[in-house]
């Protein structure tokens, strides 16, 4: 497909490719790449936009802003990546007089649930994905494969999309973090304050200027556990320390850790430690 001109979007030729393959001919049914595009020199700013499908957007160069559901705008610079998710409202684009170089890929399918659980995709945040290798080649390969219209190439494009998201997650884990977000190390230190109730998870999210959904995702990505599970594990580790190093009764330890139901506390302790609180103390 040749580049086309749309001066409302950009003063330069843009490339937009819609799917040309019947879904019934695809071998990969759990993920499907939809419309893909490259918008060099984009100047168009959009406000209050809703999308039907997930999309990943990569800003190669330039600057602008991004906001989900009317939240505070996040600044975007070169080698930024963000997502659109269905049902949410977005304000995004270069600021007046500016521009950016944009690639985007729409996608849908049941595999999205697994990607969410693994932390490969997330809404509401801007990520810096600076890498020596860069990511343009992934987007260009996907555009090229989707342009041909062959079912096998559409399947390959879906696999390339998953590889792209996986590589981005490695870069974020090793080098980067969401824009305007404190380090995970500080978040973990604050989560330890939940052991004795000095801070709540809502207060921690507010302190770091992130949503609860973002906090849950960051904890899961860092620890491999859901947020509530992670906090229970912290508390059970502290409970074991108290059982082995103090003469506090089980009921007193449960109360200090903000478990009002001693039986519930005991069940949790056995679940995470593999032994009851009473037997833990007896087996010293």
Query: Which of 128, 150, 174 is at the close of a domain?
Result: 174
> Which CATH number fits the domain that encloses residue 103?
2.60.120.280
Query: Which of 150, 174, 198 is at the close of a domain?
Result: 174
- Beta-carbon contacts of 180 under 8 Å, excluding residues fewer than 6 positions away, are 74, 75, 126, 209
Report residue 149 as tokens.
């219209």
CA distance 92 to 178: 17
The answer on 210 and 234 residing in a single domain is yes
Residue 83 lies in a domain: yes
Residue 179 lies in a domain: no
Residue 11 lies in a domain: yes
pLDDT of residue 171: 80
pLDDT of residue 284: 56
The answer on 102 and 224 residing in a single domain is no
pLDDT of residue 174: 58
Residue 8 lies in a domain: yes
The answer on 170 and 198 residing in a single domain is no
The answer on 191 and 106 residing in a single domain is no
pLDDT of residue 2: 55
Q: Which residue range(s) make up the domain with 80?
A: 4-174
Number of domains present in the structure of the chain:
2
Element (H, E) at 66: strand 64-68
The answer on 222 and 167 residing in a single domain is no
What DSSP character marks residue 215? H
pLDDT of residue 16: 95
The answer on 145 and 214 residing in a single domain is no
The answer on 69 and 162 residing in a single domain is yes
Give the DSSP letter string of 22-64: -GGG-S--S-EEEEEEEEEEE---EEEEE-SSEEEEEEEEE-E
This prediction's pTM: 0.63
> Which CATH number fits the domain that encloses residue 266?
1.10.10.60
Q: What is the pLDDT of residues 13-69, one digit of tens each?
A: 999 999 888 888 999 989 999 999 999 999 999 999 999 999 999 999 999 999 999
Is 105 in contact with 56 (CB distance < 8 Å)?
Answer: yes
The answer on 115 and 10 residing in a single domain is yes
The answer on 205 and 128 residing in a single domain is no
Residue 64 lies in a domain: yes
Query: Which of 115, 150, 174 is at the close of a domain?
Result: 174
Residues paired with residue 82 on neighbouring β-strands, in sequence order: 57, 126
Q: Which residue has 């697994």 as its token pair?
A: 114
The answer on 115 and 256 residing in a single domain is no
Residue 35 lies in a domain: yes
Residue 139 lies in a domain: yes
- Beta-carbon contacts of 88 under 8 Å, excluding residues fewer than 6 positions away, are 50, 51, 68, 69, 123, 124
pLDDT of residue 173: 67
Residue 156 lies in a domain: yes
pLDDT of residue 5: 76
The answer on 50 and 167 residing in a single domain is yes
Is 112 in contact with 54 (CB distance < 8 Å)?
Answer: yes
| Positions of the chain with pLDDT under 70 | 1-2, 132-133, 173-183, 284
The answer on 236 and 141 residing in a single domain is no
């Amino acid at each position: 497909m040749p580049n086309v001109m749309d001066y409302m979007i950009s003063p330069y030729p843009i490339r937009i490719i819609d799917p040309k393959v019947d879904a019934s001919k695809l071998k990969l049914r759990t993920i499907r790449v939809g419309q893909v595009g490259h918008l060099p020199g984009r100047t168009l700013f959009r406000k209050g936009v809703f999308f039907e499908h997930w999309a990943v957007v990569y800003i190669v160069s330039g600057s602008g802003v991004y906001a989900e559901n009317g939240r505070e705008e996040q600044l975007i610079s070169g080698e930024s990546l963000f997502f659109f998710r269905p049902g949410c409202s977005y304000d995004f684009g270069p600021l007046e007089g500016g521009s950016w170089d944009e690639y985007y890929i729409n996608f849908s399918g049941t595999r999205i649930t697994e990607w969410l659980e693994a932390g490969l995709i997330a809404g509401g945040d801007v990520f810096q994905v600076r890498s020596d290798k860069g990511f343009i080649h992934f987007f260009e390969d996907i555009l090229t494969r989707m342009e041909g219209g062959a079912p096998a190439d559409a399947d390959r494009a879906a696999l390339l999309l998953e590889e792209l998201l996986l590589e981005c997650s490695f870069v974020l884990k090793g080098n980067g973090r969401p824009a305007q977000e404190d380090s995970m190390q500080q978040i973990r230190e604050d989560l330890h304050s939940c052991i004795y109730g000095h801070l709540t998870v809502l207060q921690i999210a507010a302190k770091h200027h992130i949503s609860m959904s973002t906090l849950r995702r960051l904890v899961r990505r860092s620890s491999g556990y859901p947020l509530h599970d992670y906090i229970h594990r912290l508390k059970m580790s502290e409970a074991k320390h108290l059982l082995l190093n103090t003469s506090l009764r089980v009921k007193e330890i449960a109360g200090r850790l903000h478990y009002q139901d001693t039986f519930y506390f005991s069940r949790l302790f056995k679940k995470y430690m593999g032994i009851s609180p009473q037997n833990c103390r007896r087996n010293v």
